[in-house]
Structure 1
Amino acid sequence: MSDFPAYDEIHVISDIHMGGNKPNFQILKETQRLAGYIGWVSKQCPAGNVALVLNGDVFDTLAEELPGYIVVEQAVATVDRIMKDASFVGVWDALAAFVATERRTLIFIIGNHDIEMSFPTVQRFIMTRLADDDLIKRARIEFSTIGAGYTCTVGNARVYCTHGNEVDAWNYNRYEDLAKVGRRLNAGRTLDPKEWYPNAGTRMVKEVMNEVKKKYKWIDLLKPETQAAVGTLVVLDPSQATKITDLVSIVGEKVRDGKEVNQRLSAEGFLPREQVNASSVTVDQLLGPNLSEGIRGYSQQNSQDVDQMLEMAEANLGRPNAQIVEPEAPLGTWQLIFDRLTGWLRNVPKDEALRRALKDWLADDKTFDHTDQDDTFKDVTAAVGSSIDFIITGHTHLERAIDMGGGRFYFNCGTWIRLLRFTDAMLKDRDAFKPVYDVLIDGRMELIDGAKFGGQSFVMNQTSAVSVKVEDGGVIGRLNHIINDGTGAPQIIQQFMRK
């Protein structure tokens, strides 16, 4: 008897990002396709056991206009609003129909945009929405919200699904702290907002990205956690420089194994943010080489040597508690850099500045290379034991299908949100970029959705999924694209067989 659930096939999707209670704050577009795909999965292998895994960031509470970095007392009401939103209600109807089907299992895995899913109150609410009081249907719903991921077997293969933010220093979850919040909710207690220490990615979204997004709706269709995004944000809205200065000290923030103390019998004492001197980030990486060069080439009105200023900033970048210990040096230096960048921007046309910033952001971009062994691949595979045959992640929004050798395979199931496709030709020079700039600066999502450059749609029609199933005497893992209305067979992008 296996220690883990056994299926004839599983289907995995990630980064749906249902949320956004403001116009144009919703980044999930293909909701009808998603509902159709869920219905298609429910009909597969009728006589066998089939699982649908929602591999993190199912909700996006960070897209909701709510105070603070985590929703506590309003968590159930927020999830209820998202479920009833006209844009998403069809998806939840499809999930309810899925769990009403015999031999189907629905698994929710926590991500970094839906951390409230760890609360027992939210889990009970989701189960009630999907299964009402039917105990058989409820038994077909599982939650993995403690950072353990989800392990099962398909045929003779062992499969491990995890969101992937566990290895992301900007976006890790503090699972013990989340458990304490859940215990407080069950005990009728509250959480003082000052007790919660958000990760760097959450702070960037809530403090900077959401503000910029009010005008530039497309900004989080690019990957916001990359470091060169800082330069793009400052170009779009120089007023954000002060906020970004405050965030510089947490670039490179990490939590080391074993640092969090197990206090499961207590609901007191939330753990402070851990800062470690482990950053090798440079100013060029943070702003991008084009913008850094702009600073270096700017007028020499300031007597301080620019290279010395940049070196000082880099020296302070990864220092623990730099804000507290020496507030004058690191913060003053970084503010001077952003002031200098703002001064340079006054002398450069905004379209050219944005073109340069985007070239930095997307330099060596391998977004659409599903064989690229990115950092998430390297860090997750290094942490997973050799007994796992198929590893499936999400989080990065970048689909991957990689043969690790020895009958082991890695997949990233990408995302269902809009993806913008910038090409070298679009960013080649100012003339080529001007029509792109006009669409971006207008900011309306409907204009972006309909834009084409060089005969190619600006927004990719790409929604991804991974399947692992018993087939042809072995176990086949596939990276798929879900097409049309989602009710037909997916388009196979890459497949691997384990005998």
Structure 2
Amino acid sequence: MRTLILSDLHLGNGGPYDIFAGAAELPALFDSFTRTPTHVVLNGDSFDFLLNDDPLAVDPQRTLEQARALVTSAPTAPALKALGRVLAAGGRATMVVGNHDLELALPDVQEVIRSALGQPREVASRLEFRDGTAPLQLEVGGSRVLVTHGEHTDVANRIDYASLLSSERANRFRYPPGSVLVKTLLNPLKHQHRMRYMDLLKPDFEGAVMVALGVKPDALKVLFNAGTLTLIRRLLENRGLAPAFALEPMDAVGASDADAHLARSLARVDLKDDEVDALLSVLDPEKLNAFDNPEALGRARLKLAKAGFAFYARLHRAVAGRTGTDYFALEPGKDELAETARLGKKYNPQAVVMGHTHAARWHEGNGPLYANTGTWISLLRLPAPEASDEEWGEYLAELQGNPSLDPVKQRHARLEQRFTFVEVEPHASARGATLRLSQWTDQGPKTLRSADLPAGS
């Protein structure tokens, strides 16, 4: 059966935090796959259960309410109805759990999703759900294609499935640090300070917070708790010290794993002593800013923003200075290739397909073909790698003046959409399949890369 693989849609509830950008395009894509039976694989983060102000806990009743809000929202409902039409045409679907929709592991939530497909129960039952405890292994035309969301390699977003799937979930399960940062810092920044671009930096939430510090550090002053500030202060003070001389943050009361991840990321930024002092004078609500140093603070902000954007830039740009259509490059990084090789050695597939990073990818080498399906949220252009500090300053000033990314005001910080997906089609007259990385456009699908896969031995 022909197979369509997408990931990181981030379908929302219609509220102010929504980031899904393909409300018109996704139903059109699904409808184009109703002519022949198709297996649709939604490979993680299909929904976003973090885009609300609810407490971060797997509460059964609240989770059901969140699921109902998601499936009935104006951008999401048409997409689910279109998916239902794929099933009605003889297809089937698999939703893989991701770190933004780990609630899909709950049977009651699964029933809410099925009920939103607009199909009879026997048709809706062709939608199945899979957790991420093991990769999904498909066979298309005799070719083996391994599909996994990819959060298992990201320590800040890795899901503890043993606790999530336990009958003692309420007492044992803890959300990953990345989810905690979304709830405690990124959502308030978006809501209170209209920093829409925070969510576009997924999945590097620590980097997003550093960008916020670079653009508007005082916005975080009221959001950091005492434990977070203590951890940050201690780790910054310990920079360059041998472990025997480093101060232990014993007084970091209330600090979480998410705080620790963030503090360590900040400590890795090459800040000078006066820049550290200037930054802490802004962040610590108990300080009176008596020793303000605008020049040092400006340098610190620039370094933090560039460090925060660095991971995002590496994901989306492979060649320094590239512009135009080549800006969002397809060549993967070393970590992605290493994980592809590891999975290839363990499972022996002809292709590995992942998501999670939001960066569409393609690589053909000695091992299995690697593709990443990208995302269906907007992408943010950054200054060129060789940009001067002055150019970066102009970019940050624009973000500060246009935090909601009003298109009319976009000059340097511009948004683009690149609705990418993977299609695997069995060969008609021989064993094997063709795998394509494509982009949905106003004219329909546009193939970015394509390769023939041999049948597995």
Structure-2 change in CA distance of 1:21 and 1:300 (3 Å) = closer
Q: Are the counterparts in 1 of residues 281 and 288 from structure 2 also a CA contact under 8 Å?
A: no
Q: Which residue of 2 aligns with 1:358?
A: 305
Q: How far did residue 162 of structure 1 move?
A: 0.9
Distance 1:141 1:300 in 2: 55
Q: Deviations over 1:206-240 (max 9, x none)?
A: 11111212211211112352654443233323414
2:40 is the alignment partner of 1:52? yes
Q: How many residues of Structure 1 are paired with residues of Structure 2 in the alignment?
A: 407
2:297 is the alignment partner of 1:375? no
2:198 to 195, 219, 226: 219
Q: How far did residue 157 of structure 1 move?
A: 0.7
Q: How far did residue 242 of structure 1 move?
A: 3.9
Q: How far did residue 144 of structure 1 move?
A: 0.8
Residue type at the aligned position of 1:496: A
Question: What SS does structure 1 have at the residue aligned with 2:450?
Answer: strand
2:374 to 414, 432, 438: 414
Question: What SS does structure 2 have at the residue aligned with 1:153?
Answer: strand
Q: Which residue of 2 aligns with 1:312?
A: none
2:455 is the alignment partner of 1:497? no
Q: How far did residue 358 of structure 1 move?
A: 2.7
2:190 is the alignment partner of 1:210? no
Q: How far did residue 432 of structure 1 move?
A: 6.4
Distance 1:483 1:84 in 2: 26
Distance 2:263 2:396 in 1: 29
Query: What are the within-5 Å matches in structure 2 for residues 451-462 of structure 1?
Result: 451-453=410-412, 458-462=414-418
Q: Which residue of 2 aligns with 1:128?
A: 115
Q: Which residue of 2 aligns with 1:116?
A: 103
Q: How far did residue 416 of structure 1 move?
A: 0.3
Distance 2:74 2:340 in 1: 36
Q: How far did residue 107 of structure 1 move?
A: 0.9
Residue type at the aligned position of 2:5: V
Q: How far did residue 152 of structure 1 move?
A: 1.3
Q: Which residue of 1 aligns with 2:397?
A: 437
Query: What are the within-5 Å matches in structure 2 for residues 276-295 of structure 1?
Result: 286=266, 289=269, 292-293=270-271, 295=272
Q: Which residue of 2 aligns with 1:479?
A: 437
Q: Which residue of 2 aligns with 1:84?
A: 72
Q: Which residue of 1 aligns with 2:210?
A: 231
Question: What SS does structure 2 have at the residue aligned with 1:159?
Answer: strand
Say which is worse superposed, 348-357 or 81-90, in terms of deviation: 348-357
Residue type at the aligned position of 2:28: G
1:199 to 176, 184, 187: 176
Distance 1:424 1:106 in 2: 40
2:93 to 71, 94, 106: 106
Identity %: 22
Question: What SS does structure 1 have at the residue aligned with 2:294?
Answer: coil
Q: How far did residue 167 of structure 1 move?
A: 1.6
Q: Which residue of 2 aligns with 1:398?
A: 359
Distance 1:337 1:383 in 2: 46
Q: How far did residue 444 of structure 1 move?
A: 2.4
Q: Are the counterparts in 1 of residues 14 and 74 from structure 2 also a CA contact under 8 Å?
A: no
Q: How far did residue 296 of structure 1 move?
A: 2.6
2:30 is the alignment partner of 1:38? yes
Question: What SS does structure 1 have at the residue aligned with 2:117?
Answer: helix
Q: Are the counterparts in 2 of residues 389 and 409 from structure 1 also a CA contact under 8 Å?
A: yes
Q: How far did residue 418 of structure 1 move?
A: 0.9
1:64 to 52, 61, 83: 52
Q: Deviations over 1:253-277 (max 9, x none)?
A: xxxxxxxxxxxxxxxxxxxxx98xx
Q: Are the counterparts in 2 of residues 355 and 427 from structure 1 also a CA contact under 8 Å?
A: no
Q: How far did residue 356 of structure 1 move?
A: 3.6
Q: Which residue of 1 aligns with 2:424?
A: 468
Distance 1:435 1:13 in 2: 32
Normalising by structure 1, report the TM-score. 0.71
Q: How far did residue 85 of structure 1 move?
A: 1.0
Unaligned stretches of 5+ residues in structure 1: 1-6, 185-190, 252-273, 302-333
Q: Are the counterparts in 2 of residues 449 and 459 from structure 1 also a CA contact under 8 Å?
A: no
Q: Are the counterparts in 1 of residues 97 and 104 from structure 2 also a CA contact under 8 Å?
A: yes
Q: Are the counterparts in 1 of residues 203 and 356 from structure 2 also a CA contact under 8 Å?
A: no
Normalising by structure 2, report the TM-score. 0.77
Q: How far did residue 335 of structure 1 move?
A: 7.5
Structure-2 change in CA distance of 1:238 and 1:36 (3 Å) = same
Residue type at the aligned position of 2:426: V
Question: What SS does structure 2 have at the residue aligned with 1:22?
Answer: coil
